[in-house]
A and B are shown apart, each in its own frame.
Chain A
Amino acid sequence: MDRPDWAPKDVDIEKASAARLYDFFLGGSYNFEVDRELGRKVAAVAPGVFDFTRLNRAFLRRAVRYLTEQGVDQFLDIGSGIPTAGNVHEIAQKANPDARIVYVDNEPVAVAHSDLLLEGNPNAVAIEADLRDPDSILGNDRTRQMLDFSRPIGLLTVAVYHFIPESDDPLGLAARYRAALPSGSYLALSHVTMDAMGEQIRQLIDLYRNSQNPVTARTRDQFAAMFDGFELVEPGVVFTPEWHPESPEDVGEHPEESAVYAAVGRKP
C-alpha cells in the first residue's frame, strides 16, 4: 500500500542517500557512517568518483556564473543537494545580490540543511519536493512567490536526472519543465554516462542500487534529447571540464574521465 499523501516522508538516515554520498565525494562532512561506508566501497571500484563529483560541481559553478553574465537573476535548482562550498545562491548573489533562488530536493535532511543555511536570506528558499511531480514544484506557492515566470529563469537540474529511471519518463519530465519556462530562460543539465569510464560507472551503478537513489546512465543522444527545442549554448554537449573552462589546464588531456555530460540550452 502506498503511503497516503498526507503522511510525511520518513527521515531515513539508516540508508545511504545520494545527497550525502555526493557530499562525501566532494570531501564534505555532511554525511553519516552509512554514507561513508558505501562511499568508500564506491571509491574502491570507481576511484574516479571524486573527480566526477568535483568536476560536476565545478561545472555547476561555471554554469551559474555564465547565466548571471547573461543577465539571469532567478534560479530554480532542482536536486540541489546538501549545501556545500560553492552554493548556487552564493555564486549568483555574489554577482547580483538581488538574485533569487529556489532550491528543491526530495531529501528532507538536505532541505532542512538548506533551510538552516538560508535563514536570514530573503531571496532564497528551499522546498522539499520531487522532480517527478512537476506540479508540486512549478505550482508551489513558494516557488511562485520567489520566481517571476514571465521573466527568464535559470533552471538547474545538475546531476539529478540519472536518478530518474526510464519508468518515470525523464524525457517527458524534462519537456514539462522546459514548457513551463518563459522564452529567454536557460536550462543547465549534467548527467552520468557510460560512453566513457564505462566499467567504473557500471560498478558505481551496481553499488548505488541499494541506496535511496539508484542510478541510470544515459548516452550522449539521450542526454541531448533533454534539450529538445532549446538552443544549445556553445560548445554544446561536452564532458563537464570542457564546458566553458576557466583555464586550459582545467580541461586536461582526458576530459571524458569526468564521466558526466554537461550542457546549457536557451529557450528561444
Chain B
Amino acid sequence: MTGEDEQGGSMYPGLAEFARLWTGAVLPTSNVPLSRGELNVILTGFAELLMTSLHAEQFDHSPALEVGRGLVASQLVGPKALDATIRVLSRYLRSEADDDRLVDLLGAVAGGYVDALRDHIFLQQETLKKAVFRARDAAEKALRASERRFRTVFTESVVGIAIGDIQGHIVNSNLAMQEMLGYSADELRQRTPYDLMPRKDAEEVSTAYRKLINGQFTSLRSEQQMLRSDNEPIWVHIAVTLIKDENGLPDYPVVMIEDITDLHLLQDRWSHQVAHDPLTNLHNRALFMSKVETAVGGLGPGDRIGLACFGLDGLSVINAGASDQVGDKILKTAADRLRAVVDDDTGLLGRVDGDRFALLAVRSSTQGMIDVVERAMARIAEPVLAAGREYSVTSSVGIVERAAAGSNPFRLLADAELALQWAKRDGRAQWQLFEADRGSRQRRDFELAAQLPAALRGGQFAVEFEPVARVANRGLAGFSLVVSWDHPEQGMLSAKDFLHLAERTGHMLPLGSWALRQACDQAREWHDEHGDRTPPLSVALSDRMVGDQDLSALLLAVLDASGARAEQLVLEVSPDMLRDADGDPAEVLTVLTDLGFKVLVGGMTASCCPHGFGGLPLHGVKLAPEFVATLGEDDKPEPSAERAIGGVVSAAQLAELPVHAAGVHHERHAVALRELGVELGQGDWFGPPSLPFEVEPMIIAGTVDPDW
C-alpha cells in the first residue's frame, strides 16, 4: 500500500510518529472493526500519500480526495472522526508545505470524506428502509398467513365461533355456530350470546360478560344451556375471550361454543348408571357407601347412626328355577316396597349385593330402626305377582345401630351383613341386631361344628320326647323328638345350639337320619307296647334333608329297619320348603304323604303367613317357639303378639289346618293360644322333653298329667 517503504522505514522522517498520533486521535471517534495496529497500517499509507502530494511539483488533489474517501471506507465515520483527522493533519503537515497547499490538501481530504460519507449514509438509510420493508413484508405475510389460518379455522371449525362488538352483539358467526343454534348469520347478528340462554342463566352470563369487558376477567368459560331457534335446549361449553387493542383497551369479544349435549346426556346417563343399580334404580354399593361416609362425616358427637341390611330369603332358589324375569320382578318389587317405607327423610337406600338392600338412617334410635325394619319386612313379605303367579318372599335383616362418632362406614355395613347372616341362620324372616360379643359366639359355633361328626360316632347325642297336648284339656296328642348333645366339656346342648351348625356344615344328613332311626325305633316300640293308644311322634326334617333327592329312599330304609309304619310319624318341614322354585307345591310333600307320613309345617312365624297353604297335602302348622315367646313371660297381655298369632291361626284355619304351638311355657301362653284357636301345644307348660320311660305313663293315661 505504501509502495515506497524500506523495511519499516519511510522516505519521510517522522511519518511513523505522524501515523501513530493520527491513529490514536481517530480510533476513539468511531466503531472501527480493526485493532489499533491494523488501523495504524492503513493510516500510515494514507499519511504517505498525503506527504507525497504535498511535496509534488504540481499539486494534484485526487490522492487527498482518495484519502478522505478511504477514511470512510475504514469506518472512521463517527461524528468527530473528520474533526480529529483535520486537527492532526494540519498540525503535522504545517511544516511540510505552504499554507495554500495545505488548505488545498485539507479541503480535498474533507471533500472526499464528506462525499463518501454522504454515500455511506445514503446507502445505510437505503438499506435500513429495505430492512424495514422486508420486516414489514415478513410481518404482513405472517399476518396474512395467520389470518388465512384464522379464517380457515373460523369457517371450517366444528366449534361455533362468533365475533362480537363491544356491547356483546354478534357481528360475525361461522357456520358451526349457525347450525348449532339454528339461526342464520343475519338472525344471529344483533343478538348476544345471553339472549340465547334460558332467562335464569342469561342474567348471570351477562353480568360476567360486563366484568369481562371491564377487565375484571380475562376470559369467561362455562358450561351453559342455550336455546335453539326452535326452543330446544342444547348444552354448550362456552368460552368468551376479550381481544384488546394495542393500547390494552377492549376491542372485541370472541365467543366460542361447543355443543356438548350428547356428551351431557351420556355423562348423565353414565354417572347415573355408574352410581345406580339399573334394575332397582337404587344407589349401588359404591355410591351407597360414599353416601354413608358423607353422612357419618356430617353427624355431631351425640348423634347415632343405623344401618340395616335386608336379604331376600330364598331368592337364589327362586332364581334357580324360575325365569330371570321372576327374580328381577321380585327384586324390583322389594326395592319399591322399601322405598315406600323409607322416604328420603327416614333413610337412604342402596342395593349392596344381588339380593341385598341396605338402609341407612341418621340420628336414629334402636327402636326407631327396628320399627322401620319391621314395617319394611312386612311390606316385602306381601305376595308378589310375577309371571302370572304369586310369590311370597320374606326378608331377613341385620341391623347395626350405634353412636355415629368414630363409626367406620365399612364396618357399619360389614357388621350389618354379619347380623344378617345370623338372622338367616336363626331361621330367616327375622331381624337381628348386631351384637359385638356374638363374634365370639360364632367362633364357638365353628368349634362345635368341627366336633360334630366325632360326637355322632362317639354316641354323644341323645333323644328325648316332648309331650304334645291338646291345649283345651291337656290330653296327650303326640310327642316331639328332641335331640340333645351331651358335650364332654360344655355339658348338655340343646338342638338350637347345634342343629343350625349341622345344617350348615353338611352333617345334617347323618345326624338327621340317626334321629329318624331313633324316632322310628321308639315309635315301633311304643306301638308294640301300647297299640293304637300310641300318639304320633313328630320329627323335624331340616331343609337340607327335605331337599335331598334320596329322602324317600332313606325314609323307606329307616321304616324297613325299624318296622315302624309311616302313619305313626309326623314329619315337620319348614315353610320355605313347601313350594318349589316355580311356586308350585313341592313334589316332596306328595312323596311324603304318598308314603303315608303326616306332614306338618313347623317353625311358623308372623312372616310366613299360611295364606297359600290351602290345597297342600298338610296336616297342620306349628308355631315356632320364638313366635309364641312374643306373648311375653309375665302376666301382661301382649295384644300385638296376640294379633300376629291370631292372624296366622285364622289363615291356617281358612286352609283347614290345625294349629300347633311350640314353646308353650306358661299358663298364660296356653290360655291365650287356646283363645286364639290353637289346638295343640308343647312346651314346659305341658311337660319338658323327657326319656321314654318317663313319658310312658302319659301314653297309658292319655294325658300329659298322668296319675301315678
- Report A's interface with B, CB cutoff 8 A: 1, 6-11, 13, 26-32, 50-51, 53-54, 57-58, 61, 84-86, 90-91, 108-113, 115-116, 246-247, 249-250
Can you give 7 contacting A-B residue pairs, CB < 8 Å?
Answer: A8-B138, A29-B128, A32-B128, A61-B33, A113-B128, A116-B131, A246-B37
Cβ-neighbour of A116 out of B127, B149, B242 (below 8 A): B127
Instruction: List residues of chain A with CB within 8 A of the CB of B77.
Output: 27-28
B28→A1 contact, CB < 8 A: no
Query: Which residues of B207-241 have CB atoms within 8 Å of chain A's CB atoms?
Result: 218, 241
Q: In the complex where A29-B120, A85-B75, A108-B139 touch, is A115 in contact with B134 (Cβ < 8 A)?
A: yes
- B220 to A: closest C-beta gap in Å: 13
A28→B33 contact, CB < 8 A: no
Instruction: List residues of chain A with CB within 8 A of the CB of B37.
Output: 246-247
| B interface, size bucket | 35 or more
Closest to B139 in A: A8
Q: In the complex where A112-B132, A249-B24 touch, is A30 in contact with B139 (Cβ < 8 A)?
A: no
A1→B242 contact, CB < 8 A: yes
Separation of A53 and B32 alpha carbons in the complex (Å): 12
Instruction: List residues of chain A with CB within 8 A of the CB of B248.
Output: 1
Separation of A54 and B76 alpha carbons in the complex (Å): 12
Instruction: List residues of chain A with CB within 8 A of the CB of B29.
Output: 27
**How many residue-residue contacts, CB under 8 A, span A and B?**
104
Separation of A108 and B138 alpha carbons in the complex (Å): 9
Separation of A257 and B602 alpha carbons in the complex (Å): 116
Closest to A128 in B: B138
B135→A29 contact, CB < 8 A: no
B266 close to chain A: CB less than 8 A = no
B143→A8 contact, CB < 8 A: yes
Cβ-neighbour of A29 out of B31, B75, B121, B139 (below 8 A): B121
Instruction: List residues of chain A with CB within 8 A of the CB of B267.
Output: none
Separation of A58 and B246 alpha carbons in the complex (Å): 38
Closest to B24 in A: A249
Closest to A94 in B: B33
- B313 to A: closest C-beta gap in Å: 69
Q: In the complex where A27-B78, A246-B36 touch, is A10 in contact with B120 (Cβ < 8 A)?
A: no
Separation of A26 and B132 alpha carbons in the complex (Å): 20
Separation of A247 and B36 alpha carbons in the complex (Å): 7
A116→B33 contact, CB < 8 A: no
B 106-146 to A, binary, CB cutoff 8 A, 1 in contact else 0:
00000000000000110011011011111110111011001
B30 close to chain A: CB less than 8 A = yes
- B497 to A: closest C-beta gap in Å: 79
B425 close to chain A: CB less than 8 A = no
B139→A9 contact, CB < 8 A: yes
Q: When A and B form their complex, which 6 residue pairs have the shortest distance between CB atoms, in order from nearest?
A: A86-B33, A113-B131, A8-B142, A112-B135, A29-B124, A27-B78
Q: In the complex where A116-B127, A116-B130 touch, is A27 in contact with B35 (Cβ < 8 A)?
A: no
Closest to A53 in B: B31
- B211 to A: closest C-beta gap in Å: 14
A250→B139 contact, CB < 8 A: no
Query: Which residues of B142-163 have CB atoms within 8 Å of chain A's CB atoms?
Result: 142-143, 146, 149-150
Separation of A115 and B132 alpha carbons in the complex (Å): 11
Instruction: List residues of chain A with CB within 8 A of the CB of B641.
Output: none
Cβ-neighbour of A246 out of B35, B143, B149, B243 (below 8 A): B35
B301 close to chain A: CB less than 8 A = no
Instruction: List residues of chain B with CB within 8 A of the CB of A110.
Output: 131
Separation of A250 and B125 alpha carbons in the complex (Å): 31
- B214 to A: closest C-beta gap in Å: 13
Known: A8-B139, A29-B121, A86-B75. 19 other contacts (CB 8 A): A7-B146, A10-B246, A11-B135, A27-B78, A29-B125, A31-B128, A54-B31, A57-B31, A84-B31, A109-B128, A112-B132, A112-B133, A112-B135, A115-B131, A115-B134, A116-B130, A116-B131, A246-B35, A249-B24
Q: In the complex where A8-B139, A29-B124 touch, is A86 in contact with B31 (Cβ < 8 A)?
A: yes
Q: In the complex where A7-B143, A10-B139, A29-B120 touch, is A109 in contact with B131 (Cβ < 8 A)?
A: yes
Closest to B81 in A: A27
Instruction: List residues of chain A with CB within 8 A of the CB of B125.
Output: 29-30
Closest to B123 in A: A29
A1→B244 contact, CB < 8 A: yes
Closest to B130 in A: A116
Q: In the complex where A109-B132, A111-B135 touch, is A30 in contact with B33 (Cβ < 8 A)?
A: no
Separation of A49 and B89 alpha carbons in the complex (Å): 27
B36→A8 contact, CB < 8 A: no
A6→B36 contact, CB < 8 A: no
Closest to A25 in B: B31
A50→B131 contact, CB < 8 A: no
Separation of A112 and B124 alpha carbons in the complex (Å): 14
Separation of A9 and B141 alpha carbons in the complex (Å): 11
Instruction: List residues of chain A with CB within 8 A of the CB of B242.
Output: 1
Instruction: List residues of chain B with CB within 8 A of the CB of A115.
Output: 131, 134
B35→A247 contact, CB < 8 A: yes
B75→A30 contact, CB < 8 A: no
Instruction: List residues of chain B with CB within 8 A of the CB of A91.
Output: 33
Separation of A30 and B123 alpha carbons in the complex (Å): 10
Separation of A91 and B29 alpha carbons in the complex (Å): 21
Q: In the complex where A85-B32, A249-B24 touch, is A116 in contact with B146 (Cβ < 8 A)?
A: no
- A56 to B: closest C-beta gap in Å: 10
Closest to A9 in B: B139
B32→A1 contact, CB < 8 A: no
A28→B31 contact, CB < 8 A: yes
Separation of A173 and B144 alpha carbons in the complex (Å): 32
Instruction: List residues of chain B with CB within 8 A of the CB of A29.
Output: 120-121, 124-125, 128
B79 close to chain A: CB less than 8 A = yes
Instruction: List residues of chain B with CB within 8 A of the CB of A53.
Output: 31
- B496 to A: closest C-beta gap in Å: 81
A108→B135 contact, CB < 8 A: yes
- A95 to B: closest C-beta gap in Å: 13
Instruction: List residues of chain B with CB within 8 A of the CB of A86.
Output: 31-33, 75
Instruction: List residues of chain B with CB within 8 A of the CB of A11.
Output: 132, 135-136, 139
Instruction: List residues of chain B with CB within 8 A of the CB of A7.
Output: 143, 146
Instruction: List residues of chain B with CB within 8 A of the CB of A84.
Output: 31
Separation of A246 and B33 alpha carbons in the complex (Å): 12
A27→B30 contact, CB < 8 A: yes
B124→A1 contact, CB < 8 A: no
A54→B135 contact, CB < 8 A: no
Q: In the complex where A29-B125, A113-B127, A116-B127 touch, is A90 in contact with B132 (Cβ < 8 A)?
A: no
A54→B30 contact, CB < 8 A: yes
A250→B132 contact, CB < 8 A: no
- B86 to A: closest C-beta gap in Å: 17
Cβ-neighbour of B146 out of A8, A28, A57, A246 (below 8 A): A8
- B114 to A: closest C-beta gap in Å: 14
B130→A13 contact, CB < 8 A: no
B36→A112 contact, CB < 8 A: no
B127→A30 contact, CB < 8 A: yes
Separation of A26 and B32 alpha carbons in the complex (Å): 9
B134→A30 contact, CB < 8 A: no
Separation of A58 and B142 alpha carbons in the complex (Å): 36
Separation of A250 and B24 alpha carbons in the complex (Å): 9
A1→B131 contact, CB < 8 A: no
Instruction: List residues of chain B with CB within 8 A of the CB of A31.
Output: 128
Separation of A250 and B135 alpha carbons in the complex (Å): 38
Separation of A29 and B121 alpha carbons in the complex (Å): 6
Instruction: List residues of chain B with CB within 8 A of the CB of A30.
Output: 124-125, 127-128, 131
A1→B33 contact, CB < 8 A: no
A1→B128 contact, CB < 8 A: no
Q: In the complex where A11-B139, A249-B36 touch, is A1 in contact with B132 (Cβ < 8 A)?
A: no
Separation of A47 and B142 alpha carbons in the complex (Å): 40
A26→B36 contact, CB < 8 A: no
B120→A50 contact, CB < 8 A: no
Query: Which residues of B18-56 have CB atoms within 8 Å of chain A's CB atoms?
Result: 24, 28-33, 35-37
Instruction: List residues of chain A with CB within 8 A of the CB of B75.
Output: 85-86
**Which one of B30, B81, B150, B218 has the highest number of Cβ atoms from chain A below 10 Å of its Cβ?**
B30
Separation of A50 and B80 alpha carbons in the complex (Å): 11
A112→B131 contact, CB < 8 A: yes
Separation of A113 and B136 alpha carbons in the complex (Å): 12
